[in-house]
Amino acid sequence: MTTKAVKLDDALYDRLKVLGESQQRSPHWLMKEAIRQFIDREEAAQQIRRDTLQRLATYEQDGKAISHDEVDLWLAAWGTDSEGQCPLA
């Protein structure tokens, strides 16, 4: 494990200490958790962007798509007896 320093102004660190006390956690634990959550969100967002670009490239190659009307009808049937499978391109 590597130790790294994070510089915080006094007001922000005071807020972190108060929050930590209310959750019975150390400021250090809160900082590590915040960084972990941030990285998880950013990695997920990057994956979504990659997936979207891949879908766009596939569409540009084959032109297959699902129309708005097809998706709208499918969504309107959710929760009804006529609910069906997701339409395919």
Name which of 64, 65, 66, 86 is nearest 75 in CA terms. Answer: 86
Measured CA to CA, the distance from residue 16 to residue 31 in angstroms comes to: 8
What pLDDT does 44 receive?
A: 98
Indicate the pTM of the whole model: 0.72
Q: Which helix (H) or strand (E) holds 65?
A: none
Check if the beta carbon of residue 16 is closer than 8 Å to that of residue 30.
Answer: yes
Measured CA to CA, the distance from residue 1 to residue 7 in angstroms comes to: 19
Res 88 pLDDT > 90: no
Segments in the chain forming alpha helices (H) = 10-23, 27-62, 68-76
- pLDDT tens for 30-80 read 999 999 999 999 999 999 999 999 999 999 999 999 999 999 999 999 999
